[in-house]
Amino acid sequence: MVQILYEDNHILVCVKPKGVLSQSDGSDKPDMLTIIKNYIKEKYDKPGNVYLGLVHRLDINTSGVMVFAKTSKAAARLSDAIKMHEFQKRYKAVVEGTFDSFDTITLTHYIYKDEKEKKSYIREGGQKSILEYTPIKSYKIQNTPVTLVEIGLMTGRFHQIRCQMSYIGHPLYGDKKYGSKNTISAMDFPLCAYSISFPHPITKEVLTFSMEE
């Protein structure tokens, strides 16, 4: 069962669970694009192929709110809204270490994606990448000091949050690919895209959807 937060003739907003791909990678792993297409096909008893536009993605082990386009017109307008930075995604993450203050900090780096390694690096010549983070509370996981942070993405680069937070010395807890020495299961990966705001592709009304805490 997929959790649908909103649906009309133009868009569908739902929650992607951890362990599910945004779209198929050719493996037998479940993916949201196929799941939602099947949902629409079954709900509306549609024959043949169902159109569904994927306008943004979440990593397989990141849960969170996703929006899909039900028409090509909606898909084009949502894609334009992303390019114009009119999409706002809010994340919650558990990072290692503590912070000197609970102020909101903006990070600006240049990120390069290594296609072979499937990993991002901060280096000259990369794509400009901006996020802001706000520490919420600090505690310990098995004697490791950690902090729950809220993150707003201004750009959407590959592994941007993981790369930038690691670069400033605060990798996500258990994210060994980006410097953590702690081990966790993939299903416990501490990153959630809990909220998304965007202009409706037809009415232009700014909509906001959040996961239940």
Q: Which residues contact 96 (CB under 8 A, 6 or more apart)?
A: 144, 145, 146, 147, 170, 171, 172, 173, 180, 182
Taken in order 198, 189, 36, 80, the sign of the CA dihedral is positive
> pTM of this prediction?
0.90
pLDDT band at 212 (very low <50, low <70, confident <90, very high): confident
- The pLDDT of residue 213 is 58
Q: What is the mean pLDDT of residues 86-91?
A: 93
Please check whether the two domains, 3-84 and 89-182, share a CATH topology. yes
The average pLDDT across 180-195 equals 94
For residue 11, what pLDDT is reported? 98
Instruction: Give the pLDDT confidence of 6-29 residue by residue, as tens digits.
Output: 999 999 999 999 999 999 998 999
Element (H, E) at 20: none
CATH of domain 3-84: 3.30.2350.10
**CATH fold label, 89-182:** Pseudouridine synthase (3.30.2350)
Element (H, E) at 174: none
Q: What is the mean pLDDT of residues 39-43?
A: 94
pLDDT tens across 104-121, in order?
999 999 999 999 999 999
Q: Where are the domains of the chain?
A: 3-84, 89-182
Q: Are 79 and 128 in contact (CB under 8 A)?
A: no
